[in-house]
């Protein structure tokens, strides 16, 4: 019985319904299994959608359209070691989210995941009307017939950056600017990390405010931790977990140093065509992961970490490289081609959203 359900899961998108109707056999309850430890397996039934049929996909992620010749990297499925993930069913998710708002908040990795989710949902209901608008820093993708809004709030630090007379001030203790936009949203998925190490002309602030002090700079990992703690304080004070589900997207890794995946001659992801096999990345986890986990562990309200770092580290093959923005911006080994790895992040998000205990109440 267990095996039957298990194999049908891999083949039928209606499996989600089966999951809800049947008691889960041992080892199948993905809510109780570590879905983040596993391997990438070749699966010709992937990718989950044809990126050419996703007209709103942004240029920086459309690797095939930008000339990437190999496709093997699109035919991989994430396989947890201890259980199976339900196959993504976009129609089911739209029904489940009917009338609700879901918002990604963060930097361009949030943009990457937001674009992925809108493609995954649109490809499930290709003839269903949608609209795409932008109001200030918020992009809104509406599935009008379902009343579902999938939104993106671009906020690279989560905390505020405010223009004052002395210049632009990064306020590690304040999320006021963002928090206004996070009200009345039913599912929030936060992310910040990549901008904390920026220096020079692309650093978008001149001073840091921390406590009652204004300083020119500080240890960036400490600044990151302080900002996360501020964000966590806002969640603890403002979120009603019976109404709102909160996720943290996790640290998305880059691939610019082949020594970290036992290929010292590789100076970037450029020539990579296949994932690493197995579950372990030789170079270990970025230090930011531990900082994030410490902050999350001290929170009072439940936040689900989409712990996507380790599984994404194995995908040195899945970045746009020269098939992204191209031109002088060159070789992108930080973002991800779509279709691609962020689809798996969304499959994991889906896995948590459809669990009965995570049902959102009105
Ligand atoms: C989509 O929108 C158009 C124009 O507003 C409308 O004519 C059409 O009936 C809508 N389609 C569906 C399936 O609701
Ligand atoms: C790449 O990683 C190796 C191993 O950690 C390290 O010794 C080396 O300095 C790194 N190279 C660069 C260019 O960062």
Handedness of CA 335, 338, 339, 343 (dihedral sign): positive
Q: What is the pTM of this model?
A: 0.90
Buried (b) or exposed (e) across 29-63, using 16+ Cβ within 10 A? ebeebebbebbbeeeeebbbbebeebeebeebbbb
- CA–centroid distance, residue 130 to ligand 1 (Å): 9
Alpha-carbon span 164 to 102, nearest angstrom: 32
HSE-CB at 55 with a 13 A cutoff on CA atoms is 5
Alpha-carbon span 45 to 110, nearest angstrom: 26
DSSP E strand boundaries for the chain: 38-42, 76-80, 101-106, 130-135, 138-143, 148-154, 160-164, 167-171, 187-190, 207-210, 213-215, 245-248, 304-305, 321-326, 330-332
Record the tokens describing residue 135, joined without a space.
């109001």
129 touches ligand 1 (CB under 6 Å): yes
Given the CA of residue 283, which atom of ligand 2 is nearest to it? 5
> From first to last of its 362 residues, what are the pLDDT tens digits of the chain?
333 333 333 333 444 444 444 334 333 445 579 999 999 999 999 999 999 999 999 999 999 999 999 999 999 999 999 999 999 999 999 999 999 999 999 999 999 999 999 999 999 999 999 999 999 999 999 999 999 999 999 999 999 999 999 999 999 999 999 999 999 999 999 999 999 999 999 999 999 999 999 999 999 999 999 999 999 999 999 999 999 999 999 999 999 999 999 999 999 999 999 999 999 999 999 999 999 999 999 999 999 999 999 999 999 999 999 999 876 668 999 999 999 999 999 999 999 999 866 555 43
Q: Report the first-to-last Cα separation within the chain, whole angstroms.
A: 36
Helix (H, G, I), strand (E, B) or coil at 207: strand
- CA–centroid distance, residue 257 to ligand 2 (Å): 6
Helices (H), 175-265: 176-182, 220-238
Record the tokens describing residue 255, joined without a space.
């691939």
Phi and psi torsions of 196, nearest 5°: -70, -25
Which pLDDT value is given to residue 325? 84
Q: Which residue's CA lies nearest to atom 14 of ligand 2?
A: 257
Are 121 and 94 a contacting pair, CB within 8 Å? yes
Q: Which of 318, 259, 253 is nearest to 292 (CA)?
A: 253
Q: Which of 360, 355, 347, 352 is nearest to 13 (CA)?
A: 347
144 touches ligand 1 (CB under 6 Å): no
Record the tokens describing residue 147, joined without a space.
């009343």
Are 6 and 84 a contacting pair, CB within 8 Å? yes
- CA–centroid distance, residue 259 to ligand 2 (Å): 6
Which pLDDT value is given to residue 359? 52
- Tell me the pairing of strands 148-154 and 207-210: unpaired
Handedness of CA 232, 236, 239, 244 (dihedral sign): positive
For tokens 């109707």, the residue is 21
344 phi-psi bin (left φ>0, alpha ψ -120 to 50, beta other): alpha
User: Could you list the active site residues?
Assistant: 108, 332, 335
For tokens 């170079």, the residue is 283
Q: What is the DSSP string of 256-271?
A: --GGGGT-TT-SSSTT
Which pLDDT value is given to residue 360? 52
45 touches ligand 1 (CB under 6 Å): no
Helices (H), 72-107: 90-96
In this structure, the residues whose C-beta lies within 6 A of any atom of ligand 2 are 257, 259-260
Helix (H, G, I), strand (E, B) or coil at 351: helix
């Amino acid at each position: 019985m267990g095996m039957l359900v298990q194999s049908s899961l891999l083949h039928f998108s209606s499996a989600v319904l089966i999951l809800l109707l049947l008691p889960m056999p041992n080892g199948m309850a993905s809510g109780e299994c570590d879905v983040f430890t596993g391997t990438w397996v070749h699966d010709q039934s992937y990718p989950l959608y044809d990126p050419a049929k996703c007209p709103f996909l942004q240029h920086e992620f459309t690797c095939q359209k930008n000339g990437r010749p190999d496709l093997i990297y699109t035919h991989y499925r994430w396989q947890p070691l201890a259980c199976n993930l339900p196959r993504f069913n976009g129609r089911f998710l739209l029904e489940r989210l009917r009338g609700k708002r879901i918002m990604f908040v963060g930097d361009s990795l949030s943009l990457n995941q937001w674009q992925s989710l809108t493609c995954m949902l649109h490809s499930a209901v290709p003839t269903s009307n949608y609209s795409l608008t932008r109001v200030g820093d918020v992009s809104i993708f509406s599935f009008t017939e379902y009343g579902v809004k999938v939104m993106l709030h671009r906020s690279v630090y989560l905390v505020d950056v405010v223009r004052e007379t002395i210049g632009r001030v990064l306020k590690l203790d304040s999320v006021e600017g963002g928090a206004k936009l996070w009200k009345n949203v039913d599912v929030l998925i936060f992310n910040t990390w990549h901008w904390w190490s920026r220096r020079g002309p692309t650093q978008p602030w001149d001073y840091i405010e921390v406590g009652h002090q204004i300083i020119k700079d500080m240890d960036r990992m400490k600044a990151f931790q302080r900002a996360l703690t501020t964000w966590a304080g806002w969640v603890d004070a403002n979120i009603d977990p019976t109404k709102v589900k909160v996720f943290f997207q996790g640290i998305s890794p880059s691939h610019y140093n082949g020594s970290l995946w036992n290929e010292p001659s590789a100076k970037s992801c450029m020539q990579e065509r296949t994932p690493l096999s197995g579950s372990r990345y030789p170079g270990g986890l970025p230090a930011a992961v531990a900082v994030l986990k410490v902050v999350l562990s001290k929170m009072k309200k439940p936040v689900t970490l989409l712990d996507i770092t380790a599984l994404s580290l194995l995908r040195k093959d899945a970045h746009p490289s020269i098939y992204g923005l191209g031109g002088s911006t060159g070789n992108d080994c930080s973002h991800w081609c779509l279709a691609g790895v962020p689809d798996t992040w969304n499959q994991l998000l889906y896995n948590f959203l459809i669990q009965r205990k995570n049902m959102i109440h009105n």
